[in-house]
């Protein structure tokens, strides 16, 4: 079969199409709807108008706040905990929420390709086989002529983007892809802050278990001491019962602490993408956690460009702005140009002869002038949706500022709590030593000794909890500042990447 005529035919089709397209292309170019303007960043520099404690005062945080400094991508390294980096690396690589977020982002990028496709003509190749009936009458003696009809050839159609509906649709698709990008960043932020939080919880709980077990050992020594005193007649049986009751009461704290430890272990294993039975959680030593000497603090004007939730709300606002343009473009006429270049013949073996070639061109226009007010209503609804999203954006910014202010104030208050807890621990420790010496010398009773033991145990555990809370509040601050995801290569993807074609 000689296919040279077909190539010639297709080239002629494209030439005719180009001439007709150039004649009407000037109709396109206008873009309906507003151009998106990014909301202005705040012009203030403080998160809290409360009087901060002066530097060097007992209530001032020992960590120095450094304004305008960017948070490092691996901010958990600031705690200087052995093994924590490896756990976070595994979580980032294997967490299924991140896998799902990456796939959703890729899907959104494909939507950009689909939206852009409308800018290009649609080219198709059609073929048909049929029969023509000519001269057939209703009388039984009237016979018509029946012939075969074969047709083969390309066709091209193009819809001109007169009012910019395609441009706004592409703009909306890009904004939706940006939203998914920031959703990925938000998932990363939640993952990393949750993993560090669980690691701190593990360390604190293990420390509390050690403290409680030491308390139980002291209770056992007290009971042994009271029992000896009872045998020699220097203590009453009620003293023995009191010591036994105290021992059992302190033992009841162990199951709750073990449960808390198990929950934290299981939660951390899930975060790293492993079943609890298939992954051994590292034992984080609480004493290795160090409070960062410097706490990077972004300015409010920078925070709105760092927090994933704020950027996500801004991307959705952009998408709603583009939706106004899409609705406005539907109020304008549409114009479609179609060209077909086909071979038609009644005999199959002569189908590709130039003599049987037929070129046809058509221009179809449509302008919906009235549809019961639906099109105008759609534009008003799009404007209402934009206004609602603008309010949501502003509320998201306010909540973010409030969270940073809360975290900063918490860190300041933690420093004072830690100072007071340390004082209480020192006092209770001295009191316990004196009570033990006094009881051994027979100058005090067992109730006084047990009271001193309880006071020391509570002070010890409270000191650990305050230290843990200070670390947790530091994590909260880093999360409120955006978590440094922009500096993480796996997460800080460009808002638009070349999508797979």
Residue 84's nearest CA partner among 376, 235, 282 is 282
Identify the CA nearest to 149 among candidates 129, 165, 167: 129
193 within a domain of the structure (yes/no): yes
Contact 61, 419 (CB under 8 A): no
Tokens found for residue 188: 């990363």
Contact (Cβ atoms closer than 8 angstroms) between residue 199 and residue 81: yes
Residue 497 within a domain: no
Q: Which pLDDT score, from 0 to 100, does residue 58 have?
A: 44
Q: Does a structural domain hold residue 315?
A: yes
Q: In which domain, by residue range, is 212 found?
A: 4-32+68-293+309-487
Tell me whether residue 62 is in a domain: no
Q: Is 433 helix (H, G, I), strand (E, B) or coil?
A: helix
What's the longest Cα–Cα distance across the chain? 139
SS (H, E, C) 189-258: HHHHHHHHHHHHHHHHHHHHHHHHHHHHHHHHHHHHHHHHHHHCCCCCHHHHHHHHHHHHHHHCHHHHHH
Answer whether 88's CB lies under 8 Å from 75's CB: no
Q: State how beta strands 64-67 and 294-297 pair.
A: parallel
Find the Cα–Cα–Cα–Cα dihedral 91, 254, 438, 459, rounded to 10°.
40
How many structural domains does the chain have?
Answer: 1
Whether residue 39 lies inside any domain: the answer is: no
Place of tokens 């106004």: 324
Q: Tell me, yes or no, whether 376 lies in a domain.
A: yes
| Residue 335 φ then ψ, to 5° | -140, 125
Q: Walk along the chain (501 residues) in steps of 10 and give the mean pLDDT of each run.
A: 39 48 50 87 84 44 74 91 93 91 91 86 74 60 64 76 85 94 94 95 94 88 84 83 89 94 94 91 91 89 92 95 90 80 61 59 65 80 94 96 93 92 94 86 80 88 94 95 82 47 33
Rounded CA-CA distance 143/136 in Å is 5
Give the angle 273-277-280 at the CA atoms, nearest 5°.
75
**3-class state of residue 145 by DSSP:** strand
Q: Which two tokens stand for residue 330?
A: 């539907």
Q: Is residue 492 part of a domain?
A: no
Between CA 220 and CA 243 the distance in angstroms is: 8
> How is the beta sheet containing 334-345 ordered, strand by strand?
122-134, 145-160, 334-345, 357-366
For tokens 């047709």, name the residue: 151
Residue 59 within any structural domain of the chain: no
User: What's the CATH number where 201 sits?
Assistant: 1.20.1600.10
Please list, in sequence order, all residues whose beta carbon lies within 8 angstroms of the beta carbon of residue 230, skipping any fewer than 6 positions away.
Answer: 236, 237, 239, 240
């Amino acid at each position: 079969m000689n296919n040279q005529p077909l190539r010639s035919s297709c080239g002629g089709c494209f030439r005719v199409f180009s001439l007709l397209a150039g004649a009407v292309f000037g109709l396109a170019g206008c873009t309906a709807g507003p151009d998106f303007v990014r909301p202005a960043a705040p012009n203030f520099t403080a998160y809290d108008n409360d009087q901060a404690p002066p530097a060097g005062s007992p209530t001032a945080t020992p960590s120095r706040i450094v304004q305008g400094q960017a948070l490092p991508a691996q901010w958990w390294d600031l705690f200087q905990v052995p093994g924590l980096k490896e756990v976070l690396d595994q979580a980032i690589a294997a967490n299924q929420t991140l896998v799902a977020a990456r796939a959703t982002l890729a899907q959104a990028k494909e939507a950009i390709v689909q939206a852009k496709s409308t800018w290009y003509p649609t080219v198709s190749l059609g073929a048909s086989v049929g029969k023509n009936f000519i001269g057939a009458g209703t009388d039984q003696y009237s016979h018509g002529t029946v012939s075969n009809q074969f047709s083969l050839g390309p066709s091209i159609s193009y819809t001109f983007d007169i009012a910019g509906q395609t441009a706004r649709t592409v703009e909306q698709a890009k904004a939706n892809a940006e939203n998914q990008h920031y959703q990925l960043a938000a998932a990363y932020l939640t993952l990393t802050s949750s993993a560090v939080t669980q690691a701190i919880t593990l360390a604190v709980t293990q420390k509390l278990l050690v403290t409680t077990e030491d308390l139980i050992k002291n209770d056992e020594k007290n009971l042994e001491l009271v029992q000896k005193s009872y045998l020699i007649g220097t203590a009453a049986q009620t003293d023995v019962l009191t010591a036994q009751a105290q021992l059992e009461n302190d033992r009841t704290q162990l199951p709750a602490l073990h449960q808390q430890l198990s929950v934290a272990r299981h939660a951390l294993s899930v975060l790293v993408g492993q079943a609890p039975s298939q992954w051994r959680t590292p034992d984080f030593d609480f004493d290795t956690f160090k409070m960062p000497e410097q706490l990077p603090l972004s300015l409010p004007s920078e925070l709105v460009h760092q927090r994933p939730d704020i950027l996500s709300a801004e991307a959705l606002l952009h998408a709603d702005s583009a939706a106004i343009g899409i609705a406005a473009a539907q109020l304008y006429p549409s114009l479609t140009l179609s060209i077909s270049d086909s071979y038609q013949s009644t005999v199959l073996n002569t189908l590709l002869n130039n003599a049987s070639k037929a070129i046809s061109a058509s221009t179809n226009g449509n302008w919906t002038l009235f549809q019961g007010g639906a099109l105008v209503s759609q534009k008003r609804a799009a404007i209402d949706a934009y206004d609602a999203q603008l309010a949501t954006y502003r509320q998201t910014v306010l909540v973010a500022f409030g969270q940073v202010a809360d975290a900063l104030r918490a860190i300041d208050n933690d420093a004072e709590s830690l100072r007071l807890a340390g004082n209480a621990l020192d006092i209770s420790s001295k009191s316990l030593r004196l009570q033990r010496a006094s009881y051994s010398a027979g100058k005090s009773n067992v109730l006084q000794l047990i009271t001193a033991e309880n006071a020391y145990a509570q002070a010890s555990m409270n000191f650990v909890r305050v230290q843990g809370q200070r670390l947790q509040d530091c994590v909260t601050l880093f999360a409120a500042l955006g978590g440094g995801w922009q500096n993480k290569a796996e997460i800080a993807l460009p808002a638009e990447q070349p999508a797979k074609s």
